[in-house]
Structure formats: structure tokens, C-alpha cells
Amino acid sequence: MFHALFCIYKEEGVLALYSGIAPALLRQASYGTIKIGIYQSLKRLFVDRLEDETLLINVICGVVSGVISSTLANPTDVLKIRMQAQGSLFQGGMIHSFIDIYQQEGTRGLWRGVVPTAQRAAIVVGVELPVYDITKKHLILSGFVGDTVLTHFISSFTCGLAGAIASNPVDVVRTRLMNQRAIVGSVDLYKGTLDGLVKTWKSEGFFALYKGFWPNWLRLGPWNILFFITYEQLKRLPF
């Protein structure tokens, strides 16, 4: 991983390490907001108190919110992955790139890979948010730490690790599916998520499904810690 970072920096410069950051920020602003909003709203339909929450309720709410939010934010995900894959070869700004994808590939181009993206989101959100809530619930009810920053840190660290382990196989296939350009007369290597999982396992072995796990974990781990600690503090503001 560190060798890859050094090679990218040496060959393409420091900006290449932040390739696709604009659509990535746009995606988080849309996907993250919708995800948390739907998840919390759905939970309140089932229970009113933290003590009444169950793992099943949280998983259902997480899966539904993940699917809806990822589907709506899919165009930003497509652009982010293509910008990162093509690096310095990718031309034009973010808006121009959206228009270019639409003109060349149509609406389907903007929602290319939406099924595996939604499947990944269902897994990630269906694991991360319930693990966070259940860990937080038990830490608070145990009486040892209470509803503190330490509780939020432990819960977010745990949910980030769980999400990375659960989502990495689908993430590998999703990225490969999104990089399959819609070219007339071409034949896609993978026809879907399950097909991609099976073909990858058969041709490259089981551990190929966990390629990029450490970068994935190093991204999800710190992001979840920063997000949930900030989120919990913002919830306490008097407005």
C-alpha cells in the first residue's frame, strides 16, 4: 500500500493522490446526509427509546437507508471511480464530466454499476450503523463509560472494522463493474455482482476478494471515527 502511494506520488504528483476528491465530497454530502436521515427516521418508526432498539430493527433500517441513499448518489460514485482510475488522463471538470458521460452513454452511464453499489451500501450500512448503535447501547447500559466521547470512539472503531470486512468483496467487484465502459460491440467481463464474485474467486482465488482491504480499512476506520464523534457532538447543540 505504501509503495503504491509512493509510486503514484512520484509518477503523477501529490494531486494524483486526491484525484476524484470533488465528486467524492459531493457524494458524501448527498449519500451521507440521506443515509443518516433515513436511518434515524426509520428507527423512530419502530422504537422511541435507545433501550428498545434491537439488532434486527437496526439492520433493516440500515439496509433500506443504504440502498436508497446510494442509488440517489450513484452518478457521483461513477465519476469518482473513473477519475481515480484514469488519473491525469481524465479531462475536464466535474460538471463537464457528468455531461460528457451522459452524452456518450446516456442515463445508464450515470447509473452504471448502481446494483452492486446499492448491494455494497446495503452491506456497509446494514453492518456499520447497527454495529455502532448496538456497541454504543451496551457500553452505555453497562454503566462503565456512559454516553461519552470514549464510547463514541470505541463504537465507531468497531463499526468501521466490521464494515470493511463485510464490504470488501463487493467493493472489489463493484469497482471492476464501474470501470467497464459502455462501448458499442464490447462484451462486459462481469455480468453482475454474483458473476463477478464467482469469476474473481475462480480465476484469482478467495483472497483476491480482499484486495485493497488495508487501504479500505484505513479509509473507513478514521472516517467513521471522525464522522460519528462529530455527529454525536453536533446532536447536542441547542438547535
Confirm if 224 and 153 have CB atoms less than 8 A apart: no
User: What is the C-alpha to C-alpha distance for residues 128 and 70, in angstroms, rounded to an integer?
Assistant: 15
Residue that has been written with the C-alpha cell 443504504 in this structure: 66
Q: Which three cell numbers stand for residue 59?
A: 439492520
Q: With beta carbons less than 8 A apart as the criterion, state whether 157 and 200 touch.
A: no
The alpha helices in the chain, defined as continuous H runs, are: 2-12, 21-27, 33-46, 55-72, 74-86, 94-105, 107-110, 114-142, 149-178, 193-204, 213-235
List pLDDT tens digits, range 137-189. 999 988 888 899 999 999 999 999 999 999 899 888 877 776 765 444 556 67
Average pLDDT of the chain, as a whole number? 83
- Domain extent, residue 135, equals 2-235
pLDDT value of position 27:
78
Predicted local distance difference test score (pLDDT) of residue 218: 85
Query: How many structural domains is the chain composed of?
Result: 1
Give residue-wise pLDDT tens across range 68-117: 999 998 888 887 777 766 655 555 667 777 777 888 888 888 888 888 78
pLDDT band at 120 (very low <50, low <70, confident <90, very high): confident
What's the alpha-carbon Rg for the chain, to the nearest Å? 19
Quote the pTM value. Answer: 0.76
Distance of CA 65 to the CA centre of its chain: 13
State the CATH number of the domain containing residue 134.
1.50.40.10
User: What average pLDDT does the segment 114-142 reach?
Assistant: 91
Q: Is the separation of the CB atoms in 108 and 142 below 8 Å?
A: no
